[in-house]
Every structure is written in structure tokens, then in C-alpha cells.
């Protein structure tokens, strides 16, 4: 298997790292159906307990077409991260092109009720065997 690239960012003491991977067995290139998975690791480097309240994704295919996803929590959960705590999940995204990229943000809530946004690093979705990359 090709070495997987990890994308990282830290916003307001919350670290987010993403490792995308192509799901060859779920993709049907002849029909313009390409599927990627991505593993997300969120870590609280701060001193306050926070809860992941909402997610906002912008998914862009190789033709520049964008699709936005906005909703509560991630994978059906709104995890609480105590100082030093972490949460990890895996999800996926289909595209109609063989490459693209994703970016977004999480809306976090401090336990006193204040909200703030955390950047999800922009990451590319590329088939490991293709030379063309979209960044």
C-alpha cells in the first residue's frame, strides 16, 4: 500500500489530523464513481473541556464542482473532549471525478456555552496510481 499522507491543523488548541485513502473496492471508475475514506483524529490541547457540536465540509471534485455538507456532530456523535482528550472517526465521500479535495470546519462548544470554529485542514483526494493531483 502507498504511504498515506497526513494533513494537520491546530486552531484554538484543538488539533485536527486527516488521513485520506482511496476505496478501490467501492469505486466504479467506468461509471464515474470514485470513493474515498478518511480517518480524522481530533485532540484537545487546551485547558477547557469542549464538545464538537457541528461539522461543515466543502467537497470539490476535479472539475471544480463543490458540494457542501453541514450537520450536527460527526458519525452520529457529538463527542466531548476533556483537556488532553481525543476522538477519532472514519467516514467517506464519493466523487464523480478521479481526484478532488475536501476542507471544512467543526463548530465546538466550550462547556460555559461559548462557541468557536476549528479548521479542518484541506486534504487532497487522489487515486494512488494516478500522477494527476488537484491541490
Parse the chain into domains and list their residue ranges: 7-126
Q: State how far the Cα of 100 lies from the Cα of 90, in Å rounded to an integer.
A: 18
Q: What is the pLDDT of residue 128?
A: 81
Tens-place pLDDT, residues 99-110: 999 999 999 999
Under the banding of pLDDT at 50, 70 and 90, the label for residue 130 is low
Q: State how far the Cα of 133 lies from the Cα of 127, in Å rounded to an integer.
A: 9
Least confident interval from 4-13, 38-47, 97-106, 124-133: 124-133
Under the banding of pLDDT at 50, 70 and 90, the label for residue 3 is low
Q: What is the pTM of this model?
A: 0.90
- Residue 98 pLDDT > 60, yes or no? yes
Under the banding of pLDDT at 50, 70 and 90, the label for residue 81 is very high
With beta carbons less than 8 A apart as the criterion, state whether 44 and 14 touch.
Answer: yes
Q: What is the pLDDT of residue 1?
A: 41
| C-alpha separations of 84 from 33, 81, 87 in Å | 39, 8, 10
Under the banding of pLDDT at 50, 70 and 90, the label for residue 131 is low
Q: The domain 7-126 is classified under which CATH number: 3.40.50.1100, 3.40.640.10, 3.30.70.270, 2.60.40.1470?
A: 2.60.40.1470
Task: Give the 3-state secondary structure of residue 30.
Answer: helix
Q: What is the pLDDT of residue 4?
A: 75
Buried residues in 2-22 as b, exposed as e (16+ CB within 10 A): eeeeebebebeebbbbbbbbb
Q: State how far the Cα of 24 lies from the Cα of 69, in Å rounded to an integer.
A: 23
Amino acid at each position: 500500500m502507498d504511504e498515506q499522507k497526513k494533513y494537520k491543523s491546530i486552531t484554538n488548541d484543538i488539533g485536527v489530523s486527516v488521513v485520506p485513502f482511496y476505496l478501490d473496492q467501492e469505486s466504479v471508475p467506468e461509471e464515474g464513481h470514485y470513493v474515498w475514506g478518511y480517518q480524522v483524529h481530533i485532540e484537545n490541547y487546551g485547558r477547557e473541556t469542549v464538545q464538537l457540536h457541528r461539522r461543515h465540509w466543502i467537497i470539490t471534485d476535479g472539475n471544480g464542482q463543490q458540494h457542501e455538507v453541514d450537520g450536527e456532530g460527526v458519525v452520529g456523535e457529538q463527542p466531548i473532549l476533556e483537556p488532553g482528550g481525543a476522538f477519532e472517526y472514519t467516514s467517506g465521500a464519493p466523487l464523480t471525478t478521479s481526484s478532488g479535495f475536501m476542507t471544512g470546519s467543526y463548530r465546538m462548544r466550550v462547556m460555559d456555552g461559548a462557541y468557536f470554529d476549528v479548521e479542518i485542514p484541506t486534504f487532497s483526494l487522489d487515486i494512488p496510481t494516478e500522477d494527476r493531483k488537484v491541490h
